[in-house]
Amino acid sequence: MTDPLTPVLSANWDDERSWKLLNYERQGGYTGLRKALTMQPDEVVSLVKDANLRGRGGAGFPTGMKWSFVPKDNPNPTYLVVNGDESEPGTCKDMPLMMASPHTLVEGVIIAAYAIKAKMAFIYIRGEVLHVIRRVQQAVREAYSAGYIGKNILGSGYDLDIVVHAGAGAYICGEETALLDSLEGRRGQPRLRPPFPAVAGLYASPTVINNVESISTVPSILRNGKEWFKSMGTEKSDGFTMYSLSGHVAHPGQYEAPMGITLRQLLEISGGMREGHELKFFTPGGSSTPLLTPDNLDTPLDYEGMMGVKSMLGTKALQCFDETTSVVRVTLRWLEFYKHESCGKCTPCREGTWWVVQMLRRIEAGEGQEGDVDKLMDIADNIGGRSFCALADGAVGCLRGAIGHFREEFEAGCRGIPAWQYLPYERSST
Ligand code: NAD
């Protein structure tokens, strides 16, 4: 097959010292910013809106539309915050992006801040990834020295400061309002929405929060135009994006391709599953997107395609599991993560995830009781949609998807068969 990969963000990742300013400029870096500064801020917003760039953090909310929600007559300062707290299980695109091409992000931050008329931007990065934090800090320093950040940027009269902020490693701080609490120096816990941050966010001021990949995509749209961006992807999911392949695949990694590519195509390009094994199930975009099976190998990996099969595109983290994997064990591991990371603010999430984990542990050990699977689904129904933020909905989606497709494996755990003894598929090649 012809290679459908479209490297844009990852185009220079193999270059020596791709993260240095000089190398970035040599590849056309910061020309998107120069172009933006010749336009009115509202024109930049319209361009990104017309290109139909949708948020790459998971929810797919249109980026330009989010920018346009910033009230025009608010007396408070406007802030831009980049969400670099990537921590959804399986999700691993923003970290390599910031490591290999931090200036793409920095350029995107300046353009986005200019568009929403912010004079202060924060890049919030997971605390554990010290190497990434240092890399982005270094890029910000370089950009200050070159006059891309600071006072009177490139003689345009526009001023901007950028602060790189290290989080402390809590999954909940990737939730945008908990991130804001954390940035304000408080314990990160989600706030009630509405009001959405675009209206009342950081220090109760209008705040646009965008994912690292979304912001990094902006310079290429400025440079090449909306028609170029829209020439890739599908009708409602335009452009290209990073798909992260992991798990039992021959060649895990980042594959940048048009929206709507299928997992079958990605596996063909990347060398398939590990030798002698076949796909049993996969997540389209991290553990909180309900898992899918080989029946969905040809379903377009875009927002609409995934909704159509009762899942979500999410972060495009394609975790692929082969026939040697116990769905029960994987689901238990994921739910243990959600239980551990629940911030405890609301009861359905705090108690519900704990309860589910106790039951899954029993089922995994083959000590489940008759009716436990129905009870799990009932608990899921009582958590979903009743929690403060999307954390519990993600946990529930993951549980429902697993039971929906592989109920028999969970039932076996209620008939005295532990997960390690249950071989759901006949091995194809042994
Ligand atoms: P959401 O759909 O509620 O909101 C998405 C974005 O749009 C937010 O920035 C929100 O402020 C904005 N928005 C939505 N409606 C708005 C309105 N009426 N006015 C103004 N702004 C509005 O989704 P969410 O709860 O922010 O995020 C859930 C997603 O996060 C999931 O899809 C999941 O895939 C993803 N996620 C990602 C990670 C990661 O590591 N990248 C981790 C966990 C979850």
Question: H helices of 246-326, where?
Answer: 263-270, 303-308
- Residue 427 confidence (pLDDT) above 60: no
Over range 64-89, report the average pLDDT.
Answer: 96
Q: Which atom of ligand 1 is nearest to the CA of 315?
A: 34
Task: Classify residue 11: in a domain, yes or no.
Answer: no
Is there a single domain that holds both residue 373 and residue 302? no
Q: Which atom of ligand 1 is nearest to the CA of 61?
A: 7
Q: Which atom of ligand 1 is nearest to the CA of 59?
A: 32
Please give the DSSP secondary-structure letter assigned to residue 287.
Answer: T
d(CA 406, CA 326): 10
Ligand 1 pocket test target in 53, 88, 244 with most atoms within 8 Å of CB:
88
Neighbouring CB atoms inside 10 A of 367's CB total: 13
414 and 403 Cβ atoms separated by less than 8 Å: no
- pLDDT, residue 3, reads 73
- 140: its two tokens: 């910000």
Q: pLDDT tens-digit profile of 12-44?
A: 999 999 999 999 999 999 999 999 999 999 999
At CA 361, angle to CA 360 and CA 365, rounded to 5? 110
Over range 90-113, report the average pLDDT.
Answer: 98
Ligand 1 pocket test target in 196, 211, 306 with most atoms within 8 Å of CB:
196
Task: Classify residue 178: in a domain, yes or no.
Answer: yes
Is there a single domain that holds both residue 261 and residue 287? yes
Whose C-alpha lies nearest to ligand 1, atom 27? 59
d(CA 309, CA 394): 16
- Residue 428 confidence (pLDDT) above 60: no
Adjacent-strand bridge partners of 425: none
Is there a single domain that holds both residue 108 and residue 188? yes
- 405: its two tokens: 């497709």
Whole domain around residue 255: which residue ranges? 240-322
Q: pLDDT tens-digit profile of 159-199?
A: 999 999 999 999 999 999 999 999 999 999 999 999 999 99
Is there a single domain that holds both residue 413 and residue 332? yes
Residue closest to 160 by CA, chosen among 112, 212, 210 = 112
Sole residue written with tokens 């319209």: 46
Largest CA distance in the chain: 73
Q: How many domains does the structure of the chain reveal?
A: 3
d(CA 192, CA 394): 18
Query: Which residue, of 304, 322, 340, is where some domain finishes?
Result: 322
Query: Which residue, of 230, 263, 298, is where some domain finishes?
Result: 230
Burial class (CB in 10 A: 0-12, 13-18, 19+), 35: middle
Is there a single domain that holds both residue 104 and residue 183? yes
Q: Full-prediction pTM beyond 0.95?
A: yes
- Give the chain's end-to-end CA distance (angstroms, integer): 29
d(CA 107, CA 36): 10
- Residue 426 confidence (pLDDT) above 80: no
Which DSSP string do the residues of 117-143 spell out, in sequence order?
A: T-SEEEEEE-TT-HHHHHHHHHHHHHH
Whose C-alpha lies nearest to ligand 1, atom 28? 59
Write the CATH number for 402: 1.20.1440.230
Q: pLDDT tens-digit profile of 122-134?
A: 999 999 999 999 9
Residue closest to 244 by CA, chosen among 320, 321, 318 = 318
Which DSSP string do the residues of 197-235 spell out, in sequence order?
A: TTTS-GGGS-EEEEEHHHHHHHHHHHHH-HHHHHTSB-S
Is 314 touching ligand 1 by the criterion CB < 6 Å?
A: yes
Lowest pLDDT segment from 70-74, 261-265, 326-330: 70-74
Is there a single domain that holds both residue 335 and residue 303? no
Q: Per residue in 147-186, is it b (16+ CB within 10 Å) or e — as a string?
A: ebbeeebeeeebebebebbbbeebbbbbbbbbbbbbbeee
* Phi-psi label, residue 90: left if phi above 0, alpha if psi -120 to 50, beta otherwise: left
Residue closest to 82 by CA, chosen among 118, 130, 35, 36 = 118
Query: Which residue, of 209, 230, 251, is where some domain finishes?
Result: 230
